[in-house]
Structure 1
Amino acid sequence: MSDCGCDKAKRDLEEFLRDEVCRTEAADIRTHLEHCESCRSEAALSVTLTEAVQRACKETAPADLRDQVLERLRAIKAGHETESTPAV
């Protein structure tokens, strides 16, 4: 097992949490987290933030808001098309 200090654990934390590190590195980071309260707290915060973002991305806008945004986008697009059409 290689030495896994706070710097390495924190540098590789996101990849570790996404299961994107090799087994040896994952084992080293896991062991470090078991013994380091600071890094364990940072890992817990990262997991909490990731879960919050994932939940927020699943939410949908109310139908009224969606319709207003689409209407505005169409108006903007129509304005650009008018500007780019050469006058005859």
Structure 2
Amino acid sequence: MSDCGCDKARKDLEEYLRNEVCKTEHSDITEHLENCPACRDEALVATTLTAVIARACKETAPEQLRDQVLARLRSEQATHH
């Protein structure tokens, strides 16, 4: 296999991390990341950011805050109907 280069690796990084590239491209990018610290660091940042966002999306608002938001929405809907 040949190294795909930084431009190709960075261009397709998001798709690569989501396993949305073909098997050949996946292998080429994997090989590139193994040999390129800068691209590997960029992949680590993207992976970490994705994990942090996923965790944040699983959190729920405190019940009191949810109640306040829902009460405000109901109030706004009542005044506009």
Do both proteins adopt the same fold according to a TM-score greater than 0.5, normalized to the shorter chain? yes
Which segments of structure 1 move beyond 3 Å, counting only runs of 4 or more? none
The amino acid that maps onto 2:80 is H
Are 1:71 and 2:68 an aligned pair? no
2:19 is aligned to 19
Question: 2:3, 2:31 within 8 Å by CA — same for their partners in 1?
Answer: no
2:5 is aligned to 5
Shift of residue 79, structure 1, vs aligned partner: 1.1
Greater Rg over alpha carbons, structure: 1
TM-score, normalisation: structure 2? 0.96
> Does 1 or 2 have the higher relative contact order (CA < 8 Å, sep 6+)?
2
Q: What are the Cα deviations for residues 18-53 of structure 1, in whole angstroms up to 9, with x where unaligned? A: 000000000000000000000000000000000000
Percent identity over the alignment is: 64
Shift of residue 71, structure 1, vs aligned partner: 0.2
Q: Tell me the matched-pair count.
A: 81
Q: Distance in 2 between matches of 1:3 and 1:53?
A: 31
What are structure 2's unaligned runs of at least 5 residues?
Answer: none
What are structure 1's unaligned runs of at least 5 residues?
Answer: 82-88
Shift of residue 2, structure 1, vs aligned partner: 5.1
The amino acid that maps onto 1:72 is R
